[in-house]
Structure 1
Amino acid sequence: MSKVLIIGAGGVGSVVTHKCAQRRDIFSEITLASRTKSKCDAIAAQLGNSINTARVDADNVPELVSLLRQVQPKLVINVALPYQDLTIMDACLETGVNYLDTANYEPIDTAKFEYSWQWAYQERFKDAGLMALLGSGFDPGVTNVYTALAAKKHLDEVQEIDIIDANAGSHGQPFATNFNPEINIREVTAICRHWENGQWVESGALATKHSFDFPEGIGPMNIYRMYHEEMESLVKHIPSIKKAQFWMTFSDNYLKHLEVLQNVGMTRIDEVEFQGQKIVPIQFLKALLPDPGSLGPLTKGKTCIGVIARGLKDGKRRQVYIYNICDHQECYREVSSQAISYTTGVPAVVGAIMMLTNKWHGAGVFNMEQFDPEPFLDELGPMGLPTVVVDGGDWPEL
């Protein structure tokens, strides 16, 4: 059994804390830390105050180092903001603690989702004998594992992947995001990139649309191509991939509101002056929108996230669709969070279990697809996210 420090007390942090508390066979002592300690205390109260709480500024390396030395965890689970990945990694290196996150580093002043900053830590973690596991959420995370499973068991050569993320749930709000509004909007409005024939191909944000018929009663929904960071690591570590695309569903209502907000400048990430003060419009917008954590009791419906992998099997072209269906209301009943937080938080805990039980181990900085997918998926299903595999189906090429 091992001590763990969770940094971040938003929707995902709440799920991670609840699920770690369900596995005391692995997590002997849990500390939850955030800039706002009252958020940690509220989560602790839901768990009968069976965990420890602390305040920490995740932008401040000395504060992080002080907390790590006090708690002495074997692993930090970072579910704070992507802007804070590097400071937390620095603190882990200084104190000799292993590291896990769910989203790659992003500079606060530019919407640039890529792994280069964290991959640059490879030698430092390797020399320290420490492990950093990047992107242990669902996408990135489980989608990387699904792709690795396709390469291990279902295809001799993976040549194309389509990662498809559908939220078929409804919360009844005029406009809201299912996770941090600032990160969500920065991601959605970024220039689209997909991988094709050895290079990145750019296109307009949400400019490419298809209809996709989702399984298990969800039915047809519009999907839009966008950039997502797991493609960067997948094409690096599975070099047979010639084409990689990421698709996500958006309602017409969401896109209408987003277009208006863009047109009036509310999605800008640069500073503007207002009444003698500097403000960032998207950060002000975040303060106006519903807290994603408040959407749990309101959200009904399901998510479907998966990977269609195409390639060669026994010399013939073949495809496999690997996916998960998650129900918003069932998640709320279990951990008081909707499925978007649940599908990110549960894989973070499973990644932590892989590291703490040495089923996944090594010194350096790693992405999910670099390890054996089967132990992870064997744990993921019983933890609440079962995997469905349709081998050889007739899903359309996108």
Structure 2
Amino acid sequence: MGKTLVIGAGGVSHAAVHKMAMNPEIFTEITLASRTKSKCDDIAKSVKERVGVTIRTEALDAMDVAATVALIRDTGADILVNLALPYQDLKLMDACLEAGCHYLDTANYEPEDEAKFEYHWQWAYREKFEKAGLTAILGSGFDPGVTSVFATWLKKHKLGSIRQIDVLDANGGDNGQAFATNFNPEINLREVLADAKHWEGGEWKVTPAMTHKVEFDFPGVGPKNMYLMYHEELESLSTHFPEIERARFWMTFGDEYIKHAKVLENVGMTRIDPVMHNGVEIIPIQFLKTLLPDPGGLAALTKGKACIGDIATGEAKDGTGEQTWYIYNICDHEECYREVGSQAVSYTTGVPAMIGAAQVLKGNWARPGVWNMEQLDPDDFMDMLNTQGLPWHVRELDGPVEF
């Protein structure tokens, strides 16, 4: 159905490109580009061996708008799938506007010199994409992404409105490392160590990072400590579903992860401002990234399962009063590795990126403008989750969560 240009060659790209290649009736031609072409070549080799599909690879600096425009035009790409760093979102959106190409990403823009996760920079592009007749899809990963589609599916099929929603993310995987992040270490640590923030009573409530802990029994994973933290879908959900009175995000962390992260923060290794080292200016968190294990390289070692989903409470569509529904996916690290050579965290982001791009190419979401996932029809996306490796489950709970 369309030609696709994927930017970025990390673990998420590895999963996404493999799944695109498994759906050649939708993704007719695939080009993978990154600053380091050898990483693209490694993914292309794996795709050829596993799926038998040849993909094109190119070297590209995603911050170079002119170079991206030239590559879009050279490939004839119908959609650009941005799986690079979130600092690069606006540059890639600019390139899509100039070249006449649809856009999709998995994480909202944030300035490189400030850990600030907000959508307003990208929402400001809405009129530009509308006038150009182009579609931009924001946050087509799992969280954000699938968690937002889950909410929309519940609102379409189960609940007339959503009064409160909790997004719960548990990774029960074990890779045997003393300390390792599940995705890009720089982005992971910036996110985890930021102040916790949730929406309640028409305003944002802010608390220090890692101070609000609750144990929850996750399907397929078991009891885990989860921590209140901020995630970008809270902003978009509370904006597009204004009836929401409370929206929170929770993620599980082991005690060893918390200990290491706090020590690294205390000694300054997670700083994002430049410092001088032996006469050379460095950014500590970027140096730390080079020391930590590459998450993509841990896929073969990772065992266990992940469980991500929403618990939402609101008025039932059938008029029977208030209901609470839990909708979630359980993903097995080892099964992901057998299929595409990725661990579950990369898989659960890469597969929804593929499905979101498919929705644009199939015409389901080809609406001019800039859209978050909860604003779009959920049904075909939900069907593809079931057929593309991320089957979901939904069940009614006895009542609202009490934590």
- 2:32 aligned with 1:32, yes or no? yes
| 1:270–1:280 contact (8 Å) kept in structure 2 | yes
Amino acid in structure 1 at the alignment position of 2:79: L
Q: Which residue of 1 aligns with 2:326?
A: 321
Amino acid in structure 2 at the alignment position of 1:188: V
Q: Percent identity?
A: 58
Cα displacement (A) at 1:316: 2.1
| 1:329–1:338 contact (8 Å) kept in structure 2 | yes
* Secondary structure at 2:109 match in 1: coil
- Distance across 2 between alignment mates of 1:215 and 1:383: 20
Amino acid in structure 2 at the alignment position of 1:235: S
* Count of residue pairs the alignment pairs up: 397
Instruction: Report the RMSD for the aligned CA atoms in angstroms.
Output: 1.0
* Secondary structure at 1:25 match in 2: coil
Give ranges in structure 1 of 5+ residues lacking alignment. Answer: none
Q: Which residue of 2 aligns with 1:219?
A: 222
Amino acid in structure 2 at the alignment position of 1:58: A
- Distance across 1 between alignment mates of 2:398 and 2:176: 35
Q: Which residue of 2 aligns with 1:23?
A: 23
Cα displacement (A) at 1:257: 0.6
Cα displacement (A) at 1:315: 5.4
Q: Which residue of 2 aligns with 1:13?
A: 13
Q: Which residue of 1 aligns with 2:401?
A: 396
Q: Which residue of 2 aligns with 1:197?
A: 201
- 2:366 aligned with 1:361, yes or no? yes
- 2:246 aligned with 1:247, yes or no? no
- Distance across 2 between alignment mates of 1:374 and 1:25: 20
Equivalent positions of 1:108-187 (< 5 A) are 108-187=112-191
Which residue, out of 335, 350, 360, partners 1:330? 335
| 2:3–2:76 contact (8 Å) kept in structure 1 | yes
Equivalent positions of 1:87-106 (< 5 A) are 87-106=91-110
Amino acid in structure 2 at the alignment position of 1:328: H
| 2:313–2:400 contact (8 Å) kept in structure 1 | no
- Distance across 2 between alignment mates of 1:127 and 1:396: 43
Q: Which residue of 1 aligns with 2:62?
A: 58
Q: Which residue of 1 aligns with 2:391?
A: 386
Amino acid in structure 2 at the alignment position of 1:378: D
Amino acid in structure 2 at the alignment position of 1:238: F
Amino acid in structure 2 at the alignment position of 1:364: G
Give ranges in structure 2 of 5+ residues lacking alignment. Answer: none
TM-score computed with the length of structure 2 as normaliser: 0.97
* Secondary structure at 1:183 match in 2: helix
- Distance across 2 between alignment mates of 1:269 and 1:44: 33
Equivalent positions of 1:298-313 (< 5 A) are 298-313=301-316
Cα displacement (A) at 1:320: 0.1
| 1:5–1:32 contact (8 Å) kept in structure 2 | yes
- Distance across 2 between alignment mates of 1:52 and 1:361: 25
Which residue, out of 215, 234, 238, partners 1:235? 238
* Secondary structure at 1:103 match in 2: coil
- Distance across 1 between alignment mates of 2:47 and 2:326: 37
| 1:154–1:391 contact (8 Å) kept in structure 2 | no
Amino acid in structure 2 at the alignment position of 1:327: D
Q: Which moved more, 1:125-134 or 1:385-394?
A: 385-394
- 2:273 aligned with 1:274, yes or no? no
Cα displacement (A) at 1:319: 0.2
Q: Which residue of 2 aligns with 1:370?
A: 375
* Secondary structure at 2:162 match in 1: strand
* Secondary structure at 2:243 match in 1: coil
Cα displacement (A) at 1:392: 3.5
Amino acid in structure 2 at the alignment position of 1:280: I
Equivalent positions of 1:288-307 (< 5 A) are 288-307=291-310
| 1:228–1:246 contact (8 Å) kept in structure 2 | yes
Cα displacement (A) at 1:259: 1.1
Q: Kindly provide the CA deviation profile for residues 118-162 of structure 1, in whole angstroms up to 9, marking residues without a partner as x.
A: 000000000000000000000000000011111111112210000
Amino acid in structure 2 at the alignment position of 1:52: R
Amino acid in structure 1 at the alignment position of 2:329: N
Q: Kindly provide the CA deviation profile for residues 76-125 of structure 1, in whole angstroms up to 9, marking residues without a partner as x.
A: 01100000000000000000000000000010000001101000000000
